[in-house]
Amino acid sequence: MGEHDRIRRVAERLRSAKCVAVMTGAGVSAESRIPTFRDAMTGLWASFDPQKLATPEAFDADPETVSRWYDFRREKCLEAIPNPGHEAITTMQQRLASQGGQLHVLTQNVDGLHQRAGSTGVVELHGSIMRWRCTKTGARITDLPIPLPTYPMPSASGGLLRPDVVWFGETLPEDALQAAFDAARSCDLFFSVGTSSMVYPAAGFAHLASKHGAMLVEVNPQRTELSMFADVVLTGPSGQVLPEVVRAAFGHTSE
Ligand code: OAD
């Protein structure tokens, strides 16, 4: 089966789907030039080890440096713009909604680009770099100025503000996990887009969906650990492949 036929097969399922889940990873933002963990370690930050900045222990030991690093990355994310891959996911969501179905966006990314592309109800499994959270009360704060006025930033209740992201060694937010489980169990089509599918539990949702009868579609320029389990592998950058899927299913790429 050629790439064209594979896209047609996915498009047919998409057209008749009642419930779709799309799991995304860093790859969906690659064409928006969001620096990955490693890419972010340039210039000022070249001598730091990301694994040592993205842990609760690192924040306890040196909240100033960790806050500065996250603020730098927050700025990079805000400068980036959503790409045609993000936009295609939003178009799919809107099309599904208009015919009484639903599409759940489940993301491991913290960059906020799905929301900025217009997707709604985005499930953020690893939190968001756009939000900060009080170390004392857990209260979440968005819309803080860039740069922050001071590092680290004190919270109103006498704690500190930490990035509202999931660090190495921390558990994923319960509500996001539950939403992802529900979506994986009930969808009839599951896309795994731009993720190496190596980090659990996020990678497990594709298997769960497949076990419950969903068609499993992978979109990635490279093979991953999930490829051999996928019903259809669409090889290429998501900014090209997803708009093609939308075109094949609905005849255009944007609302
Ligand atoms: P990875 O960096 O592990 O994988 C990115 C994937 O994107 C790879 O499989 C690439 O082949 C693929 N890719 C690259 N360019 C692409 C493009 N234009 N279109 C589609 N795919 C492309 O990123 P994640 O799988 O997201 O966790 O990693 C998951 C988690 O591991 C991250 O959220 C982070 C990290 O440790 C935490 O921060 C908790």
Q: What is the pLDDT along the chain (255 residues), one digit of tens a residue?
A: 898 999 999 999 999 999 999 999 999 999 999 866 656 666 666 777 777 788 999 999 999 999 999 999 999 999 999 999 999 999 999 999 999 999 999 999 999 999 999 999 999 999 999 999 999 999 999 989 999 999 999 999 999 999 999 998 999 999 999 999 999 999 999 999 999 988 788 789 999 999 999 999 999 999 999 999 999 999 999 999 999 999 999 996 554
Q: Within 6 Å (CB) of ligand 1, which residues are found?
A: 25-28, 30-31, 36, 108, 126, 166, 194-196, 198-199, 220-222, 224, 237-239
pLDDT of residue 199: 79
Return d(Cα 5, Cα 28) in angstroms, integer.
23
- The number of the ligand 1 atom at minimal distance from the alpha carbon of 166 is 39
- Tallying the residues shown for the chain, one arrives at 255
Residue 199 carries which DSSP code? S
Active-site entry in 86, 104, 126, 212:
126
By CB neighbour count within 10 A (0-12 exposed, 13-18 middle, 19+ buried), where does 48 fall? middle
Spatial contact of 147 and 131, defined as CB atoms under 8 Å apart: no
CA distance 86 to 106: 12
Catalytic site includes residue 126: yes
pLDDT digits (tens, 9 = 90+) for 134-166: 999 999 999 899 999 999 999 999 999 999 999
Please name the residues in contact with 92: beta carbons below 8 A apart, sequence gap of 6 or more: 14, 20, 22, 103, 242, 245, 246, 249
Cα dihedral across residues 109, 115, 119, 121: positive or negative: positive
CA distance 14 to 99: 12
User: Alpha helices of the chain — where are they, by DSSP H?
Assistant: 3-16, 50-53, 56-61, 63-79, 84-98, 113-116, 174-186, 204-211, 238-250
